[in-house]
Structure 1
């Protein structure tokens, strides 16, 4: 869980870090720097003033977010102290002030949204108040005033459309063909989604008055709206094409919208049920109809989150069982058509998790090449009828906001390529660490809309605090998530465990959390959190029995042939072409194959 995934063990890294730490301490004593705390800069953030009365129903929410602004300042100052001497000239800006700005924008936006639930939504100037500067000479940081804002005596009516603000004007999408009865609901849902997208765009125009330059509305609102509409119209075409000739609805021509500069009501797209095609003798389309017969995707189809569980297209709660790759850059030959075929046919597994490391020689070194590799592997898994978890594998640094721009680009490209797939799950942050839940949620709030623009129905996995431990590693637990959940549909929260290190105490928390949170174990191991050491199959059995009882999906680390005990394949296997049978597997590999095949883990 905390380990390095490189070929050097984390223990080795700790030893190096410890030696470096001693050297710094000795140097500090020699130079008399122990009293130099005042020289460490501190952050200086502008006050956020609530210039409107706050509805009584939203007082607590606004108060909590005002206090959160102070927590963010405290965390930034602590990071300034703990990273003295690290990085280049832009380190503080990129690693501390930049993420702090993003967190403040999200928090101020939440204050605006909270007030707007029962009153006119204010513009608190999030863009202007989010950036913080440095007190280069140190000293105390100015604190956000958290005194309770004035309470509104009654909630004013929300402003209507006659306020002179522009509104979007989108062409109607007309279904000029008969829609097969089996696809009526899907087409209807997407027609209604077009209307939702227009409403969201108009709301964004209202909430961003005065922001940006002359191209702001085009770049920040109309451009993304065009992309969403294009994907939605394509889905309508694809849905009809499952049981009839696929129509061309002119997505390119109908996706762009213009502005009603004078405001007024927006013309809404038609959402009446389109004409139904005459009955045919064809069998109705089944879940995953394009997937190979008997494959996981053919059996279960489009996944969704229902309550606290993962459900198939029929609305039945299911458990997926599969494997996680190691870093695609570390073991490039271990995930291919042969090993994926073995997972589906020899193991009867349901999914493969593709671990796309961001650092450590991963995505950041060749974004185009690695994105293409992920897309190619998704295609191979799709042909076999496997589900795929696309894992944006952040680990060091542990704050996902550091890689926010790269994450947006990566997920935009991958979701665009697989917009019509019903088998792809997106994991947006592998193991966040050294970051608060608020910081993780801020990241999720910005990345998930990128995914939703192309893949509005996909399941998204959100990493949790303390190396995806539900915060347990940091002394917290699931309650911080329950108090401030990610506000999107089809969201699940990840939990990782390593059976030789994590036992009954953590299982008790997972059993409790599973009653209130949708959980997905996207990574676990049978050994210690280093990814190496002796396997503890007794503890693993207890964990997997718990997950089975609660229908929590799991994937084991890792589909690789390294020297560590987490590798499922024996060393040298990936240089060949045979991935079938127990003979190519290590002790942990034999255990998990047996568990997936029979329900009983057998390492022999």
Structure 2
């Protein structure tokens, strides 16, 4: 399916067809017509564990029943991920990019570095991977590149340097796709280490068409995190590429009240968001009940959903002013 090219009038009726090539304009994510937009969608779980959950039926449901604008493709690097089979995992990402594209969704290519927390540990792998992705998919207008999932244990200046070394490698092959840069201490803007958003605001990455990521888990991350996200979004482009309604482990009880406070803030400031996660992992943050993937559904409706799944599906399906055209 041909998606809208940069600068061309929108055609079709899917999110990616209507809005075309995204770009950062000021502190917002904007569509091809220059209008600020807010993407809302889901992240996969690690492809090494839950690739079987990403079937024709489940992806159709995500696009057509959930009405998701975006799917985050979560490819772990360690933990039996990319480093064990670079060609195999790259092929999985290629396939899921095509699947999202065929359904008119945006796709976040998530370089899911987690442990170790220093993004430089995987820099050479990242250059190889993103060179391939950017060369193969640079004609697409429905992608975003998340280049460091959750940096930890390192300074913001080191994360910034990593981004400034990797982004030119991507731009050499794909000058248009927005790049999402992880922030310090598990993409908390440094809040989890007692810092504030000022370290990023006052020392931004030297690159254009980028946004910064923020992750939160509502049962663990309260007003201090909410306030930091709010202040940051007034100064720099922010994208919540991962959140849960539970604790930071992705498990435990749901705090839907706090979650709604975050969603209200993100709606008001047009901060795009992606929920963790679209699988049947046993934890409460996985939207499907145990065994759903092995049984191949049912994928539509709420029969197979845990409480968090029911809640987030309803929020993704709630009408807003996206797509704007």
TM-score by length of 1: 0.51
Q: Are 1:355 and 2:78 counterparts?
A: no
Larger Rg: 1
Q: Are 1:411 and 2:130 counterparts?
A: yes
- Structure number with greater CO (CA < 8 Å, separation at least 6) is 2
Q: Give the Cα separation in 1 of the matches to 2:113 and 2:8.
A: 39
Contact 2:8 2:32 in 1 (8 A): no
RMSD: 1.8
User: How big is each residue's C-alpha offset from its partner over 1:417-437, in whole Å with a ceiling of 9 and x where there is no partner?
Assistant: 101000010000000000101
Q: Give the Cα separation in 2 of the matches to 1:302 and 1:366.
A: 31
Q: Are 1:573 and 2:292 counterparts?
A: yes
Which of 337, 340, 357 in structure 1 is aligned with 2:59?
340
Q: Give the Cα separation in 2 of the matches to 1:343 and 1:368.
A: 27
Q: What SS class does the counterpart of residue 144 from structure 2 fall into?
A: strand
Q: Are 1:425 and 2:140 counterparts?
A: no
Q: Give the Cα separation in 2 of the matches to 1:409 and 1:327.
A: 20
The corresponding residue for 2:311 is: 591
User: How big is each residue's C-alpha offset from its partner over 1:402-421, in whole Å with a ceiling of 9 and x where there is no partner?
Assistant: 00000000101111110100
Contact 1:498 1:529 in 2 (8 A): yes
Q: Are 1:436 and 2:159 counterparts?
A: no
**Structure 1 outlier segments of 4+, above 6 Å:** none
User: How big is each residue's C-alpha offset from its partner over 1:336-379, in whole Å with a ceiling of 9 and x where there is no partner?
Assistant: 33222111110111010011000000000000010011001101
User: How big is each residue's C-alpha offset from its partner over 1:445-472, in whole Å with a ceiling of 9 and x where there is no partner?
Assistant: 1111111111101110000001000011
Task: Report the CA distance between 1:285 and its aligned residue.
Answer: 4.9
Q: Are 1:286 and 2:9 counterparts?
A: yes
Contact 2:230 2:265 in 1 (8 A): yes
User: How big is each residue's C-alpha offset from its partner over 1:84-125, in whole Å with a ceiling of 9 and x where there is no partner?
Assistant: xxxxxxxxxxxxxxxxxxxxxxxxxxxxxxxxxxxxxxxxxx
Task: Report the CA distance between 1:562 and its aligned residue.
Answer: 1.1
The corresponding residue for 1:279 is: none
Contact 1:336 1:377 in 2 (8 A): no
TM-score by length of 2: 0.94
Q: What SS class does the counterpart of residue 372 from structure 1 fall into?
A: helix
Q: Are 1:480 and 2:199 counterparts?
A: yes
Q: Give the Cα separation in 2 of the matches to 1:370 and 1:300.
A: 29
User: How big is each residue's C-alpha offset from its partner over 1:61-99, in whole Å with a ceiling of 9 and x where there is no partner?
Assistant: xxxxxxxxxxxxxxxxxxxxxxxxxxxxxxxxxxxxxxx
Q: Are 1:298 and 2:4 counterparts?
A: no
Which of 264, 272, 277 in structure 2 is aligned with 1:545?
264
Q: Give the Cα separation in 2 of the matches to 1:385 and 1:469.
A: 30
| Closer/same/farther in 2, CA of residues 585 and 503 from structure 1, 3 Å limit | same
Task: Report the CA distance between 1:578 and its aligned residue.
Answer: 3.1
Q: Give the Cα separation in 1 of the matches to 2:223 and 2:297.
A: 40
Which of 501, 509, 512 in structure 1 is aligned with 2:228?
509
Q: Give the Cα separation in 2 of the matches to 1:404 and 1:295.
A: 35
Q: What SS class does the counterpart of residue 71 from structure 2 fall into?
A: strand
The corresponding residue for 2:94 is: 375
The corresponding residue for 1:311 is: 30
Q: Give the Cα separation in 2 of the matches to 1:559 and 1:361.
A: 19
Q: What SS class does the counterpart of residue 333 from structure 1 fall into?
A: helix
Q: Give the Cα separation in 2 of the matches to 1:394 and 1:494.
A: 14
Task: Report the CA distance between 1:286 and its aligned residue.
Answer: 2.6
Q: What SS class does the counterpart of residue 45 from structure 2 fall into?
A: strand
Q: Give the Cα separation in 2 of the matches to 1:412 and 1:506.
A: 34
1:234-253 aligned at under 5 Å gives the runs: none
Q: Which moved more, 1:591-600 or 1:396-405?
A: 591-600
Identify unmatched segments of 5+ residues in structure 2.
321-325
Q: Are 1:582 and 2:305 counterparts?
A: no
The corresponding residue for 2:216 is: 497
Q: Which protein has the bigger helix share?
A: 1
1:68-217 aligned at under 5 Å gives the runs: none
Task: Report the CA distance between 1:560 and its aligned residue.
Answer: 0.7
The corresponding residue for 1:527 is: 246
1:58-77 aligned at under 5 Å gives the runs: none
